[in-house]
Amino acid sequence: MQLVVDVGNTETVVGLAAGPTEMAAHWRVSSVVPRTSDELTVLLRSLLAGIGRDGSGIEQGVIGSVVPSSTFVWKRSLEEITGGPVVSVGPESALPITLDVEEPKSVGADRIVNTLAARELYARDTIAVDLGTATTFDCITADGVFMGGVIAPGLSAGLEWLDRRTAKLPRVELEPPSSVIGRRTETCIQSGVFYSAVDAIDGTVRRIKGEWQRPDALVVATGGFVKILGPHLGTVDRLEPFLTLYGLAMAGRHIAGRG
């Protein structure tokens, strides 16, 4: 059993991994709220208690973080919960993947573990589309080579921009609109933001396939907005909400020498 933590800019996803592709439980907590390691420890104990567990039986913690200021705090908290080692995944981690890009040390932990998960789960050329604060597109070969990709603003960016830059437009919920043509201001905004994101993602995937010359690449969508956007994406073959957590669990086992 591993406690895996994907620290993102907006949300942190915590998973209790019973196996490389088996999440016994998972939770989302805010990354924006500053917390001390003691506060995180109390929070994690409460989440585990909610499913009738404590720290016993958890072999190690695994962290993949794109927020350096939060990494140390999460590491201290996981050490307290598990009483064992905590693995922090990064570009120099000993994993069976290759980062074939100009600046491999700048590749985020989420993209690293997505590459590992795609290699282990699919063993074919894959485009991993991670729908989070940013929308990232990762080009991953069948044998686990990360070739680069695309980073674009996420779904919430359009709503936040309109909220900040306009005086009279209201802030609306992130949800699929009932129709493309809105009949009032709120539904016009929902439609504009939602379908701009959908068409941008599908268009980017098509461009990647053409430039990469991989027309048959598997397209897998993951991330916090996958349930909202995923069903509306015409280029996506598979929805896998836990791809990053699976990758963290796999990375933890590899680094611990358990393959």
DSSP string for residues in the chain:
-EEEEEE-SSEEEEEEEEETTEEEEEEEEESSS---HHHHHHHHHHHHHTTT--STT--EEEEEES-HHHHHHHHHHHHHHHSS-EEE--TTS--S-EE-SS-GGG--HHHHHHHHHHHHHH-S-EEEEEESSEEEEEEE-TTSEEEEEEEEE-HHHHHHHHHHH-SSPPP---S--S-SS-SSHHHHHHHHHHHHHHHHHHHHHHHHHHHHT-TT-EEEEESTTHHHHGGG-TT--EE-TTHHHHHHHHHHHHHTT--
| Residues 149, 126 contacting (CB under 8 angstroms) | no
Q: How many CB atoms lie within 10 A of CB 100?
A: 12
Per-residue pLDDT of 78-98, as tens digits, reads 999 998 889 999 999 999 999
Best CATH choice for the domain 2-88 from the list 2.40.30.30, 3.30.420.40, 3.40.50.720, 3.30.465.10: 3.30.420.40
CATH of 98-156+185-247, one of 2.60.40.10, 3.40.190.170, 3.30.70.1140, 3.30.420.40: 3.30.420.40
| Tens digits of residue pLDDT in 197-217 | 999 999 999 999 999 999 999
Per-residue pLDDT of the chain (259 residues; tens, 9 = 90+): 999 999 988 889 999 999 889 999 999 999 988 899 999 999 999 999 999 988 788 999 999 999 988 999 999 999 999 988 899 999 999 999 999 999 999 999 999 999 999 999 999 999 999 998 889 999 999 999 999 999 998 887 766 666 665 554 556 667 788 899 988 888 888 888 889 899 999 999 999 999 999 999 999 999 999 999 999 999 999 999 999 999 999 999 998 875 5
- Would you call 110 a catalytic residue per the annotation? yes
Distances (CA, A) of 160 to 10, 63, 164: 13, 28, 6
Q: Determine which one of 6, 110, 125, 138 is catalytic.
A: 110
Judge whether 2-88 and 98-156+185-247 match in fold. yes
Q: What strands lie across the sheet with 86-88, from one edge to the other?
A: 22-30, 11-19, 2-7, 60-65, 86-88
pLDDT of residue 227: 93
d(CA 112, CA 64): 9
- Domain locations in the chain? 2-88, 98-156+185-247
